[in-house]
Structure 1
Amino acid sequence: MRILGISAFYHDSAAALIEDGVIIAAAQEERFTRKKHDAGFPAEAVQYCLSEAGVDMKDVDYVAFYDKPFLKFERLLETYLSFAPSGFRSFKTAIPVWLKEKLFQKDLLRKEFKKYDPDFDWMNKLLFAEHHQSHAASAFYPSPFEEAVILTMDGVGEWATTSVAIGRGNKMEMVKEIHFPHSLGLLYSAFTYYTGFRVNSGEYKVMGLAPYGEPKYKDLIMDNIIDVKDDGSFRLDMSYFNYCTGLTMTNQKFADLFGKPVRGRDGEDLEQFHMDIAASVQAVTEEVVLRLTRSLREEYGIENLCLAGGVALNCVANGKILRDGAFKNIWVQPAAGDAGGALGAALAAHYHHKGAERVADTGKDFMRGSYLGPVFEQSDIEERLKKAGAVFETLSDDETIQKTADAMASERAIGWMQGRMEFGPRALGGRSIIADPRSPKMQKILNLKVKYRESFRPFAPSVLREDVGEWFDHDQDSPYMLMVADVHKNKQKEMSDDEKALFGIEKLNVPRSEIPAITHVDYSARIQTIHTDTNPRFHAVVSAFKERTGCPVSVNTSFNVRGEPIVCTPEDAFRCFMGTELDNLVVGNCFLKKEDQDEKLALDYKNAFELD
């Protein structure tokens, strides 16, 4: 039984293919088209999934779409009617697009799939799941749990913005929902907009900015904007927002509450005020999710929690849920956003529509490390790099590991492309930039000269699973970089009184641990544990680095520049290498040095992509 899952037409389109419940392939369309957050029909991702399985569309039993367009259209109409006559301009903008494209998505999907198979039986093969059902299925069914509470939090699906389901075996029952316009995801996006970042893209910047500030406005938000009950349920005061009827997220009343206008995206410096705003909305978010998780544990008595939806990518909140201890075990879908809805739709069709049996393997999930994208054979890599004009040497497996570890220990920044591409927003050692975390200058170098992004942005550590407890206040698996914990006390460096008195970005240049390149200003780090069973090659190179330095940790950031999708192919990797100040590129067993390359092939990547 083969089921193809699709998410499309809003942002982060993706495709995923399962076979008898086993995840065969999954990828976001942006990785192929090179358009960040590509919302179009995921034609190339579909083709990849089919080719990875070695099948054609006629061999696919069902196609499952991740939400129900008619319910979304119903919400759109009801919202505009509720707020009429306000918002006519927004209504006038949205309705033609809906009538032309989105309302008739079934017909659009039918036409797309007939390109693959003229005899595609869309009447019987095409299935639709609800948005939060897709998210919940993506979290529960690949998890290692036989039974779990499933919490989904995002901007909005059809109507639901927060939902709770109970998963047992092959069944999943939705038991609670909070509906639009009351949304924790949209609240966070409103503050993303207010602080000058792009909605549906810059939320993680707000999370990264928060430790530079103090949550001075938390009470102001809780007293005026959001009413949170003891059980975590909430309502927003919509008089502060524009997203129901306007073309912006917030309005003048919102700005007046905080005493400053919306920060412009270009040319306006971040002030301490913006850092305090970020810290405040982060604190409110954590307060809401902790009240939710505590009440859910008490109500249902189940010790396992699964998380999905865009809010589940808030790894700082996830870490606090884990340390809070209400749930014994937590599992977060690595593609928690809309891309993961493609996988969830396929899994929902398999278990709900077909009633397939499910066996949970306690202690191990079914995401295969989230390495579900394309892989390239060594001979193909060499041919592609030669055509691109690259100068490289081809090494043995062991030589590749040893030379890469040597380069890391020499404070060289390395583009690392190995094995299958990751599914989801995080680079996990398949398409990563790696470097020495002990270097006090590495964070600034990578931000300003490689990633071309804001200097405040933190970098994540990848650490050998067997060593994580010695270096961090965390001793559990965290393979998907979705948990934040502090650097271990015995690795921290005490700050002087003068250093403690610094404000905001001034804190950035103070080394505060033995691994300063991945230690955020509050001593926290977004941890990925490296496992031999899912990524033996990455484990080997960090192990070799540990042999040289005693440090079992690598800087790990996504292999791209600001605004660019993570690299997919060897050509993508070489272009990014030549457009940045990366020192080395390692693709398969091909080892490249920047100083050996033809200077004529250098690219200007600094302004090649739109601000994200």
Structure 2
Amino acid sequence: MKTLGLSAYYHDSAAALVIDGEVIAAAQEERFTRRKHDAAFPMRAVQYCLEQAGLQMDDIDHVAFYDKPLLKFERLLETYLAFAPRGYKSFAQALPIWLNDKLFLSNLLKGELAQFGDRALGDDRLLFTEHHLSHAASAFFASPFDEAAVLTIDGVGEWATTTLAHGKGSDLKILREIHFPHSLGLLYAAFTYYLGFKINSGEYKIMGLAPYGEPKYAQLIREHLIEVKPDGSFRLDLSYFDYCTGLTMTNERFDRLFGAPRRTPESALTQREMDIAASLQQVTEEVMLKLTRSIAKSTGLRNLCLAGGVALNCVSNGKILRDGSFEHLWVQPAAGDAGGALGAALAVQHMYKGVPRAALGERTDLMQGALLGPSYPQAECEARLHAAGANFVVLDDEALLDRVASAMADGKAIGWFQGRMEFGPRALGARSIIGDARSPSMQSVLNLKIKYRESFRPFAPSVLKERASEWFDLEADSPYMLLVADVTERRRHELSEAQRQLGGLEKLKLCRSEIPAVTHVDYSARVQTVDARTSPRYHALISRFEALTGCPVIVNTSFNIRGEPLVCTPEEAFRCFMGTELDLLVVENCVLMREDQSPALRIHYADELEAD
């Protein structure tokens, strides 16, 4: 059975193809259109999925959409009625969009998909799953577990903002829900807005900023903004927020509570913003731990799956794992709305049509390392690079690994483009920028001269799976960079008393460990464990680097610049190379040196970048 899953019209549109329980292909539309978080119908992602499987649209048995628009419209109407007459301006803006497009989404989808084939897309072929069920299905059915508790947390779906489900075999049942407007995801988004970052994009900046601050406002948040019960269920005091009916996330009462208006985007960050970020992160972790402890106690289950945008909070994930309420934790790598496309397809296959789950064999899960996007054969890469005006040499595998490992050891920053593109927000060694984790300057070089982003943002380590516990306090695998763990004590550097007293961004200057480029100011790291079976060339490269330096850890960050999606094609990799200070670009077996490129192809767009 062939099922095409879709998510669209909010943010991070995507398409995913599942055949007989196997995940064949998945990609976000942004990677093709180059519009970050593109919400449009995923035309090119659909085309890619069909081409990857050698199928036509007429071959598809079912198309599954990741939420139910009528339930969302019900929530919109009931919310505005509940708050009337407040919010009329917001209601007047939203209603025409719904009446023209979203309310009749079935017809809109049928029209978009009609261009891919002649076979009529009747109501028996076009199916809709509830938003949080899509999230839950993306986590459980792709996981290694035959039975597990499934927790999904995001901003809001139709009504649900948090759900608990029980998955067993090919069955998945929602057991409990927390409904809008009470939402941990929207609380986090409100602070993202208040601190001057982009909603649905800048939340991870809060997580990265938090270790620079102290949780001085945590009690204020607990007393005024969120009431948390012992079982982790919660309610928000809506008098501080404007997202139900307004055009902003917070209001003047929120400003008064924190003693100042919203930070102007792109303005200088102060210790106050860092302390607020630390406070929000602490409260978020408390809620997550109470929820997971309660779920473990009430279900008696030992496996936990996570999905929804809040599941991308890898600091919380790491604490859930270390807490020990569950023995095993698995997080969907495309935990946000993009992953809903995959979940919708899996839900239709297993729950609606009764397709058995695919056997794992020697695989750790069904996600193929999240390497589900397009790839480009060597000959095509060469042709595309030649057409773009690039100068390069082609090396065999051994020479390539030697060249790149040596370049990293020499302090070079490298664009690494290999195999199938990642699905989800993390670069995992296919579309990555890599460097030497031992370099004290690599973190600032990558942030300021290559990524063109804020200096405080940390970078992740890629470590050989078999060496991970020697460098990080991590006993589990973390293939998708969704767990934070501390650098082990024996790899840390002792700080003087004066150094420990430094505050704010002054902490950035300190060399805390043997791998300072990936050690955050609180000694933590967002770890990716690299498995030779899933990522053989990436594993071989890190192994070669270890043979050269004795260190099995390298820096890994996404191959893009601020405000742009991850690169998808060889041309995009070359363009990013020519617009940054990267020293070396590797596209499959093609190696490009900066000094060999024509100065006429240099791109100067650092000052024109959008905020991310």
TM range (shorter): over 0.9
Secondary structure in structure 2 of the residue aligned to 1:123: coil
Q: Secondary structure at the match of 2:123?
A: helix
Greater shift, 599-608 or 151-160, is seen at: 599-608
Give the conservation status (yes or no) of the 8 Å contact 1:146–1:359.
no
Q: Name the residue aligned to 1:36.
A: 36
CA contact (8 A) 2:139 2:150 kept: yes
Partner in structure 1 of residue 336 of structure 2: 337
Q: Secondary structure at the match of 2:556?
A: strand
Question: Which residue matches 2:474?
Answer: 474
Residue 323 of structure 1 pairs with residue 322 of structure 2 = yes
RMSD: 0.9
Letter in 2 for 1:575: R
The answer on whether the counterparts of 1:151 and 1:305 sit within 8 Å (CA) in structure 2 is yes
Amino acid at match of 2:354: G
TM-score (norm: length of structure 2): 0.99
* Matched residue SS, 2:467: helix
Q: Could you list the runs of 5+ residues in structure 2 that have no partner in the other structure?
A: none
Compute the displacement of 1:359 (Å).
5.4
Q: What secondary structure sits across from 1:581 in the alignment?
A: coil
How many Å apart are 1:101 and its aligned residue? 1.4
Moved more, 97-106 or 244-253: 97-106
SS at match of 1:512: coil
Per-residue deviation, residues 114-159 of structure 1 (Å, max 9, x unmatched): 1111333322210000000000000000101010000000000000
Q: What is aligned with 1:448?
A: 448
TM-score, normalised by the number of residues in structure 1: 0.99
State how far apart, in whole Å, the 1-side matches of 2:191 and 2:166 are: 31
Matched with 1:298 is 297
CA contact (8 A) 1:272 1:504 kept: yes
1:387 matched residue in structure 2:
387
1:382 aligned partner, one-letter code = E
Q: Residues 174-253 of structure 1 correspond to what in structure 2 (within 5 A)?
A: 174-253=174-253
Identity of aligned residues (%): 64
Asked if 2 retains the 8 angstrom alpha-carbon contact of 1:169 and 1:360, the reply is no
Query: For 1:364-400, what per-residue CA distance to the aligned partner results, in whole angstroms no more than 9, with x for missing partners?
Result: 2111101000000000000000000000000101111
**1:492-503 equivalence runs, <5 A:** 492-503=492-503
> Quick check: 155-164 or 96-105, which moved more?
96-105
Partner amino acid, structure 1, of 2:297: E
Amino acid at match of 1:487: V
- Equivalent position of 2:311 in the other structure: 312
> Partner residue of 1:13?
13
CA distance in 2, matches of 1:269, 1:84: 38
Partner of 1:284: 283
Cα distance between partner residues in 2 of 1:122 and 1:281:
46
**Which residue identity does 1:357 align to in structure 2?**
P
Q: Could you report, residue by residue, the CA deviation over 1:94-122 in whole angstroms, capped at 9, with x for unpaired residues?
A: 11111111111111001011111133332
Match of residue 585 from structure 1: 585
Cα distance change of structure 1 residues 359 and 592 upon mapping to structure 2, 3 Å threshold: closer
Query: How big is the shift at 1:608?
Result: 4.0
What's the CA shift for 1:233?
0.2
User: Secondary structure of the equivalent of 1:231?
Assistant: coil
CA distances 1:144-176 after superposition (whole Å, capped 9, x unpaired):
101000000000000000000000000001000
Which one-letter code corresponds to 1:308 in the other structure? Answer: A
Distance 1:324 1:241 in 2: 32
1:78 partnered with 2:92: no
> Residue 404 of structure 2 aligns with which residue?
404
**Matching residue of 2:416:** 416
Matches of 2:600 and 2:273, distance apart in 1 = 42
SS for the counterpart of 1:103 is helix
Partner of 2:575: 575
Deviation track 1:391-447 (CA, whole Å, cap 9, x = no partner) reads 000010111111010110010000000000000000000000000010000000000
Contact 2:20 2:358 in 1 (8 A): no
Distance 1:583 1:155 in 2: 40
Mapping for residues 354-365 of structure 1, pairs under 5 Å: 354-358=353-357, 361=360, 364-365=364-365
Residue 124 of structure 2 aligns to a residue whose secondary structure is helix
Give the counterpart letter for 2:474 in structure 1: H
Q: Match for residue 547 of structure 1? A: 547
User: Structure 1 residue 360: deviation in Å?
Assistant: 5.8
Report the equivalent of 1:269.
268
1:428-439 to 2 correspondences below 5 Å: 428-439=428-439
1:475 Cα deviation after fit = 2.2
Alpha-carbon contact 1:561-1:605 (below 8 Å) kept: no
For residues 344 and 122 of structure 1, the distance between their equivalents in structure 2, rounded to whole angstroms, comes to 21
Take 1:432 and 1:48, find their aligned partners in 2: how far apart are those partners? 21
Shift of 1:332: 0.1
Deviation per CA, 1:490-521, whole angstroms, max 9, x where unpaired?
00011111111111000001010000000000
Aligned to 1:562: 562
Give aligned pairs, total: 611
Whether the aligned pair in 2 keeps the contact of 1:493 and 1:514 (CA below 8 Å) is: yes
Q: 1:333 & 1:259 partners in 2: Cα distance? A: 38
Structure 2 Cα separation of the partners of residues 605 and 72 of structure 1? 40
What is the rounded CA distance, in whole Å, between the counterparts of 1:537 and 1:39 in structure 2?
Answer: 33
Q: SS of the residue aligned with 1:104?
A: helix
